[in-house]
Structure 1
């Protein structure tokens, strides 16, 4: 990035109307390299203990691998692919030892100090890339209804309310390898925002609504608003909710090239 920038960020999580929380969300700032951050959303499935075990394994694996990651020498897409594969294997081993069927989605992105961004996802947790109120790109769900949308048999609006919208074609912990999809942004710019969230959040919003919220509010305000609004729209039938909002802003004080500031909004 030509000009100094700072990363403003927030996370949010809520149990929703479920009896227990199986989502996990984390925003990690690199312990040795300023301006390098990793965001992860994991939506666990497989019953109360199984789903939480799966999402816990995703976060534990991500934290361990990120500690060893060097943005100056390591390949970010390869790092993310290794994260998915290792988390998948650990979840599979957990399933064998615990006689459960834990599964988890993953939506993770890493921002390097130079401003390049890389993401990976498996399942129906999503990542959105906005430039102010404009959607630049988002992940495509590994789900039955997304396949119907891709074939032109459903619209995005119809897919959100489809009775089989919760059927996944792949995620971490299944018998087959997860259908992880990577994407890279060569250079983030001031005014751009990344949003990673579970289906408990995005199910209740259009892309335009998400773009407007993240553009007009601070990351912390946006995370609080989106969770509250999703809860209201769910009308007592909502899933677990989790999200990470990261915005690139101009650096006022130019003594440091990058600065990470994180908040967590929990309800």
Structure 2
């Protein structure tokens, strides 16, 4: 079993938008003791409905997850794929009923009690993995670009610029295309490692090094307040919704050694 405890928190700021359309949460499940799920969604169209649906579906799927003795990385990745697939279907049905387009990004992370971390993303919300303050990995669109080139027969440059075309949006709820899920993983994660899930209203204002330093050097609340404040400053009145989930792996506190006192026994009467 793992040699760390999990400290997790979420934070949001509306930015300079009329409403908050991002959603983020951290879940545990009675059916999967020792496992943790963190998710974040950024609604691109249709208000917050798509993001709300993602949180609802994520909790339902995770609550029914039965890990058994030791699921593989692929099995954990399938849980994240199921969240994406189920959310995508429901959002499309809701959009038909309401006659409004509903779209959102997705990024999710599962931590197991065996020291594995598995993550997935759709769209431009990001996950960062830090060891102390060094960025060891972060999500990107490299595999999606390869997918577009291989399956859609797009020229490489067109695939790299896929966000500029509504026909190529990789988002949950897109009625024209199924979402492409990119999976990443790490094994033997441990103390002094941390994960950051965030929307583009945060990450677009920071380097990887800046994010890593803030997350490593400060508790979750202080780190989130610092990052949100700096993002608003750098946005210069044009900031997007800003959301994050910070998950830190820390050494469990040492148990105090037992203390004993020895006293001379009195004579029994």
Q: What TM bracket, shorter-length normalisation?
A: 0.7 to 0.9
Instruction: Indicate the residue corresponding to 1:93 in structure 2.
Output: 93
Shift in CA distance, 228/127, structure 1 to aligned 2, threshold 3 Å? same
2:192 aligned with 1:196: no
* Residues in 1 aligned to 2:189 and 2:217: alpha-carbon distance in whole angstroms: 19
1:220: how far off?
A: 2.1
Match of 2:62 in 1: 66
Question: What is the distance in 1 between the residues matched to 2:164 and 2:229?
Answer: 25
2:3·2:190 contact (CA, 8 Å) conserved in 1?
A: no
Matching residue of 1:179: 180
Report the equivalent of 2:49: 53
CA distance in 1, matches of 2:55, 2:97: 19
Note if contact 1:123-1:168 (Cα within 8 Å) is conserved in structure 2. no
Moved more, 71-80 or 119-128: 71-80
Q: Is the 8 A contact 2:128 2:197 kept in 1?
A: yes
Matches within 5 A, 1:34-49: 34-46=33-45
* Equivalent residues of 1:125, 1:141 under 8 A apart: no
Q: Is the 8 A contact 1:15 1:239 kept in 2?
A: yes
Task: Tell which has more relative contact order, 1 or 2 (C-alpha 8 A, sep 6+).
Answer: 1
Q: Deviations over 1:78-118 (max 9, x none)?
A: 11111111111111111111101000000000111112111
What stretches of structure 1 move > 3 A for 4+ residues in a row? 141-144, 163-169
Number of the residue aligned with 1:118: 118
Q: Show structure 1 runs of 5+ residues with no match.
A: 154-158, 256-267
| Cα pair 1:51 1:104 within 8 Å, conserved | no
Shift in Å at residue 180 of structure 1? 0.9
- Distance of 1:66 and 1:192 partners within structure 2: 23
Shift of 1:71: 2.8
Match of 2:240 in 1: 239
5+ residue gaps, structure 2: 149-155, 257-269
TM-score under structure 2 length normalisation: 0.81
- Deviation digits for residues 9-44 of structure 1 (CA, Å, limit 9, x no counterpart): 110011111001110011112234443111011001
Instruction: Give the superposition deviation at 1:168.
Output: 6.7
Larger radius of gyration: 2
Alpha-carbon distance change, 126 to 254 in structure 1, aligned in 2, over 3 angstroms: farther
Aligned to 2:23: 24
Q: What is the DSSP-based 3-state SS (H/G/I as helix, E as strand, rest coil) of the residue aligned with 1:108?
A: strand
TM-score, with length taken from structure 1: 0.82
What do you get for the CA RMSD once the two structures are aligned? 2.6
Where 1:27 maps in the other structure, the secondary structure is strand
Question: Which position in structure 2 is the counterpart of 1:207?
Answer: 208
Give, in whole Å, the separation in 1 of the partners of 2:249 and 2:54.
26
Once the two structures are TM-superposed, the CA of residue 4 in structure 1 deviates from its matched residue by: 2.4
C-alpha displacement at 1:167, in angstroms?
A: 10
Q: Using the alignment, how far apart are the partners of 1:166 and 1:41 within structure 2?
A: 22
Change (3 A) 1:233 1:12: same
In 1, distance between residues paired with 2:123 and 2:14?
Answer: 20
